[in-house]
Amino acid sequence: MPKHAKPIPASRLGRGLSSLIGGPTTVEPSQPPASSAPQQFQPTPPTPELGPPRELPVDQIAPNPYQPRHTFDDAKLDELVASVSRQGILQPLLVAPAADPAADRPYVLVAGERRLRAARKAHLATVPCAIRDAGAEQLLEWSLVENIQRSDLNPIERARAYRSYMDRFNLTQAELASRTGDSRPTVANYLRVLDLCDSLQQLLLDGSLTFGHAKALATLAGNEQRQLALARRIVRDGLSVRRAEHLVAEAQRAGDGPSAGPGPAPKDRPAYLADLETRLAHAVGTRVQVLPGRGKNRGRIVIDYYSLDDFERIARTLGMEQD
């Protein structure tokens, strides 16, 4: 068995996960759990580390229950196995004591899935672990933040992670941005790709469409036929993002998009309406359109939602009591 190298400090990530657990850690691949009924968000206080990193037996660490991803890049994992075989695990895994004292394994993995898998394939008996106390809610929140902070998430995975975190903890986009260390426009832009139909999401995943193209097409949410037609044209003709945005704007002016309706064309919209939409969107955590009516001092406010959980979250934000 190879001798473990002396653990080195993990590099600091964005504010999200390290702020939740009171110190830096290392992010490994994960995917968000399925959303359950949202609850009132309560910030998770930092928890103290239970002593310095310790060598724990590999067979005493249970997988993260909120880690549904089961596929990993075999070639990259083999590279990590080779590195682990030569040098050992250089950065500690993050684990928490099992909530159930009668659990088969006394520890639950929080972050370090690839390193743990590589250690097993390299036949290591123990791995260095930073241990932090965590309840079920903390473990779920840490797992969601860890997932969001991964650098190799594709746009759909990141968008779903954002949505899952918002729904589970009843957050607005601004609150989520604060928790993860991202900007609110970044969160909003990723959430927009969930407006794409399944076929377009697949084109984004396989690289036929860029994230910029996807953001533009998401503006036509609710018109799947038009989205697909424009997407095929973008792919066929190799159109730029700027050209795609122009085509989407033309479709909206022709009445093909959700912004069609009463009120002036986008280029003629008063600046105060755009500012009002921005402030309303910030308040409810989703896209908002203010559409002036034909009569004086009349119009409509259109609030987008993306799931039943999202609708209920917005309703609570607006003060609606839930049965």
Q: Return the amino acid letter for 280.
A: L
Rounded distance, CA 2 to CA 256, Å? 63
Rounded distance, CA 281 to CA 99, Å? 39
Rounded distance, CA 115 to CA 109, Å? 11
> Looking at 28, 79, 113, 245, which residue is catalytic?
113
- How many C-beta atoms lie closer than 10 Å to residue 178's C-beta? 18
Q: How many residues are there in the chain? A: 323
Q: Is 113 an annotated catalytic residue?
A: yes
Q: Which residues contact 106 (CB under 8 A, 6 or more apart)?
A: 60, 97, 98
The answer to whether the beta carbons of residues 62 and 107 sit under 8 Å apart is: yes
The answer to whether the beta carbons of residues 193 and 156 sit under 8 Å apart is: yes
Q: Which residues contact 70 (CB under 8 A, 6 or more apart)?
A: none
Q: Active-site positions?
A: 113
